Structure 1
């Protein structure tokens, strides 16, 4: 169901102020402008009709921006389809690496530096434990996804990581995690190593880092959280769908919008994930949303170790070959259905044909539309 209110509506109500806002840079402004125009007449589009039942549909083009609440569905499905072919019939763990708020000011000033360091420190931490024979003694793999937000759009950088429960030894043999895949590594020890790794990498990347900041970082308790293993590869896919192409806030969370403010829902995890509502002045909401627009060209989904682009072509077939046939069958997952632009929304036949390509002026006056904001890519 299409939401009543959208981030684009808030932007439209405050756009002159957005363009003048001193804390919104040119790259953020460009991204916000794309979200504002997405699937509107400003983007152009096309008119389709069903050759069987005559149903007419006007579709406006998508902005395809990775921060847009309306453009992630198809990208998410395509990415998951590609990852399904790489799933291993082994336990998977969900590990979260969080940065303390002590780094928030530096993240605002140099986001790429802070977030690149987060990725590197998380992988070095996992690698240190996995290659230690006391814990595993094998090379692991990791898929890491950066999120920068909290539930109220505050700055809260953290990595959601999927980690297979085991790794490849130097001889090329698969070694499973301890306890038959029910346990990965001790999180308290990981937290301490993660803090040390982050500070070490930060000092290498930023030699001028202030000593006061380093002291404050060591004075904080850093958090690494490892959830229990997924019950099967199908649940890994469900996780991927929720996290890989998630943005700071979805349109469905916005409940009310007026000329001055808006209200959105959030979960308070200090109260057992209780659902609450927050009201913000419109420009404050936009300022918070802009905090989570990543630097241009920044890669927010990264693959490491045996799951990296250079290694998985060898490691995945080798691991599958070593596992019993029964376990290989368990790796089968559900098929994901992608949007089919040829399918008629009325009769469900693949009989839609394009009648007219629209410029940036929209459809002819009076034309009946079935779904005016249909995604078109």
Structure 2
């Protein structure tokens, strides 16, 4: 199996990186990188298909399922988007981006558990602003938020991409469309709520209070709420935000060259949209990538308002797709349909005779062949039953005819 550019970079340089920085590298990072390096390697287990006509077999290695993997991350996004199509409300959505000043970036890098505050505080800013528009109705929107820790230049830059319904469910009058959002009011609210929560949750409360005062006195920029786009349908909204859900730190198309020692990549500078080309040592490139790997079980996607699982109001709202359509799309997520749709190739077609191959076996690295194990269990089970049946037959015949006699030797 051919390796992608990023997998190749890790495979060829990971041991050296661990030798230099292994004592500083998070365990989560080590696990995720090992997954990427071994993704699709049949030595770590595979599924086997066999042709019933000519006997030809094909082995498909297990994928790593890591969202950090450029290949598996794409599958995760596709599945997420299709899942969201059955949940999103059929209404317009607004894409917002919540940013923080440079002074706070180091705080979130040092105390990574605080990253969860970003979507919480951003959602609170939006929902509290909507509440004040009509306190009696207290309109509740639907919010899907995604935490991003990187910018185009790969630097550590935590921010939140948020998809918000242009409207909300009221306490008495049902759903109301709301097109206007006051972004300056949201910006001030976002700043106040986040700084307050950081003081409460940080391990270094005194330092955070000092930093808060410094930000209010000297920092004019950094806390922003950008309205990126108005998205006119739930289907478009799911696809739009899906780009950010499992987005790799860098697309492989942006890596221009890797010569074994240096990596050359490009990006468009946010300030002037100018294309920048950088060439850095491969170890430094790895550093830039792994800093963005989240901790184990940390949720990068969060849901608020009517999109929370515990909210019952969304059951009564209009969904984008009927259940039967969603079930059909769910079936199409299968491996063979995905490859057929992407490359026009039927992966289960025999390369020798053209017949359709059938599933034959699953082989695990430590467990071995599932087919062989089940075969042995079946044979042992049959053997035990056979012995029992013979014994039962002997007893039965002996009782009826009284012919059981000791055999002298």
Tell me the TM-score normalised to structure 2 length: 0.75
Q: Greater CA radius of gyration, 1 or 2?
A: 2
Q: In the alignment, is residue 160 of structure 1 matched against residue 161 of structure 2?
A: yes
CA shift in 2, pair 1:357/1:89, >3 Å = closer
Aligned counterpart, 2:194: 198
Structure 1 residue 55: deviation in Å? Answer: 7.5
2:336 to 341, 358, 371: 341
1:216 to 214, 217, 220: 214
CA shift in 2, pair 1:59/1:164, >3 Å = same
Structure 1 residue 137: deviation in Å? Answer: 4.3
Which shifted more, 286-295 or 234-243?
A: 234-243
2:358 to 353, 362, 371: 353
State the Cα deviation string for residues 82-124 of structure 1 (Å, max 9, x = none). 21111212111101111222112222211112x1221221111
Partner-residue secondary structure (3-state), 2:347:
coil
Structure 1 residue 51: deviation in Å? Answer: 4.6
Q: Distance in 1 between matches of 2:54 and 2:173?
A: 58
CA shift in 2, pair 1:12/1:190, >3 Å = same
Correspondence list, 1:1-377, <5 A? 5-20=4-19, 21=21, 22-51=23-52, 57-113=58-114, 115-133=115-133, 137-171=138-172, 173-177=174-178, 181=179, 183=180, 185-206=181-202, 207-218=205-216, 219-220=218-219, 221=221, 222-272=223-273, 274-311=274-311, 314-320=312-318, 337-341=332-336, 344-345=346-347, 351-355=356-360, 357-358=362-363
Partner-residue secondary structure (3-state), 2:139:
coil
Q: Distance in 2 between matches of 1:55 and 1:239?
A: 42
Q: Distance in 1 between matches of 2:118 and 2:230?
A: 23
Q: Distance in 2 between matches of 1:126 and 1:285?
A: 37
CA-based RMSD? 3.1
Q: Is the 8 A contact 1:45 1:358 kept in 2?
A: yes
Structure 1 residue 236: deviation in Å? Answer: 0.9
CA shift in 2, pair 1:64/1:141, >3 Å = same
Q: Distance in 1 between matches of 2:172 and 2:259?
A: 64
Which shifted more, 125-134 or 286-295?
A: 125-134
Partner-residue secondary structure (3-state), 2:336:
coil
Instruction: Name stretches of at least 5 consecutive residues in structure 2 with no aligned partner.
Output: 341-345, 367-409
**Relative contact order (C-alpha < 8 Å, sep 6+): which is higher?**
1
Which segments of structure 1 move beyond 6 Å, counting only runs of 4 or more? 52-55
Aligned counterpart, 2:378: none
Structure 1 residue 139: deviation in Å? Answer: 1.5
Structure 1 residue 352: deviation in Å? Answer: 3.1
Aligned length: 344
Partner-residue secondary structure (3-state), 2:239:
helix
Structure 1 residue 304: deviation in Å? Answer: 0.6
Instruction: Name stretches of at least 5 consecutive residues in structure 1 with no aligned partner.
Output: 322-326, 362-377
CA shift in 2, pair 1:131/1:61, >3 Å = same
Tell me the TM-score normalised to structure 1 length: 0.81
Structure 1 residue 234: deviation in Å? Answer: 2.5
Q: Distance in 2 between matches of 1:171 and 1:290?
A: 49
Q: Is the 8 A contact 1:3 1:251 kept in 2?
A: no
State the Cα deviation string for residues 28-69 of structure 1 (Å, max 9, x = none). 122212211111244222332455798754321111122222
